[in-house]
Amino acid sequence: MDINGITDIARYLTDEEAAQNALAQLRWPNGVECPLCDGGKKVYEVKYTHIDSRTGEVKPTVRKQWKCGACRKKFSVTSRSIFEGAHIPVGKWIYAIFLMCSSKKGVSANQLSRELNVSYKSAWFMCHRVREAMLQEPLRGMLGGGKYSVVELDETFVGGKPKNNRHANRTSAAGKKTAVMTLLDRRGDVKTVVVPDTRMGTLQELAKPIVHPETTVMTDQHASYYGLHEHFTDHFTVNHNKEFVRGVIHTNFAESYHSLLKRGIVGAFHHVSEKHLSRYLAEFDRRWNTRKDRDGVRTTNVLRSAQGKRLRYKEVIA
């Protein structure tokens, strides 16, 4: 499968068979295998028909099916993937993933619902499933590491009303906002995590397993970062009240990342509950960490990550 841009996506939207074949090719490059059991290399394509409720005609089922010679069960290209169980054509899934991969600030369920002509509920669920596929766990490695590596740590509060600014949020005025910490490797990846609070113990214990000890860390003067120099190569702090940037000592990248995140959440999602926030963060992290890829490449890789993951509706609304 090769997605170069919107023309390829448009083809899959209008030709569901082509979309399914493309996904099958991506999922099973060495021939179709049964996703339901381990021994399933011997599979047979089976043709099922259904009666069209409007015209009364007998038609082949839309989704191509196979039967496994080992476990005798039937499956389709969407079995055991984030697409399973949803009555949504594969072409629409590919379009949704492309949209979420190519838009910097993300896509709202409303927009997806309009563009794909599916219900708001379906669109909302599709967004969550795609985010599940975008979750990169575990990280490809620790952030930082090496002589000149720099990782910026910064915390912020998201959700709630957009008018509150970052510094005001640090006080009790934060209300129902959720605290997140961003760890951004200037030469590499970003990782954003939801934190229960912004106390020293919490932030530092979360940062240590994510950031390599041979790293220079940059933070603001938040007291919770005090003492980081004992664990890392070095620790510099920025005093936002006096100076914004002192040469290389700044947390500007982490702060820009936060504003991107907030603009996305405020603009496209209106309100994000704490429960779903980790998935939103995963979506933003994935886009950032693959920022050098073309949109089509990013889309193809997310389609690959969609295999073997399944998110039940119950788990999303629970």
Contact residues for Zn ion, defined by CB under 5 A = 34, 36-37, 40, 68, 70-71
Q: Choose between 66 and 124: whose C-beta lies nearer to Zn ion.
A: 66
Sign of the torsion formed by the C-alpha atoms of 263, 191, 244 and 165? positive
Q: What is the Cβ-side half-sphere exposure of residue 142, based on CA atoms within 13 angstroms?
A: 16
Q: Choose between 64 and 298: whose C-beta lies nearer to Zn ion.
A: 64
Cα(211)–Cα(82) distance, rounded to whole angstroms? 30
All residues at 6 or more sequence positions from 113 whose CB lies less than 8 Å from its CB, including other chains: 119, 120, 122, 123, 124
CB of 77: closest distance to Zn ion in angstroms? 15
CB of 308: closest distance to Zn ion in angstroms? 15
- What H or E segment, with its residue span, contains residue 216? strand 216-220
Cα(96)–Cα(78) distance, rounded to whole angstroms? 15
Q: Is 39 exposed, middle or buried (0-12, 13-18, 19+ CB in 10 A)?
A: exposed
CB of 20: closest distance to Zn ion in angstroms? 19
CB of 89: closest distance to Zn ion in angstroms? 25
Confirm if 203 and 223 have CB atoms less than 8 A apart.
no
CA angle, 218 then 182 then 282, to 5°: 155
Per-residue DSSP letters for 61-91? -SS-EEEETTT--EEETTTTBTTTT----HH
Q: Choose between 40 and 264: whose C-beta lies nearer to Zn ion.
A: 40
User: β-strand 65-68 against 58-60: which pairing, if any?
Assistant: unpaired
CB of 32: closest distance to Zn ion in angstroms? 11
Q: Choose between 36 and 260: whose C-beta lies nearer to Zn ion.
A: 36
Q: Choose between 34 and 190: whose C-beta lies nearer to Zn ion.
A: 34
Q: Choose between 37 and 317: whose C-beta lies nearer to Zn ion.
A: 37
CB of 258: closest distance to Zn ion in angstroms? 46
Cα(228)–Cα(225) distance, rounded to whole angstroms? 6
Cα(135)–Cα(127) distance, rounded to whole angstroms? 13
CB of 1: closest distance to Zn ion in angstroms? 24
Confirm if 281 and 134 have CB atoms less than 8 A apart.
no
- What H or E segment, with its residue span, contains residue 124? helix 120-134
Q: Choose between 70 and 174: whose C-beta lies nearer to Zn ion.
A: 70
CB of 43: closest distance to Zn ion in angstroms? 8
Q: Choose between 12 and 66: whose C-beta lies nearer to Zn ion.
A: 66
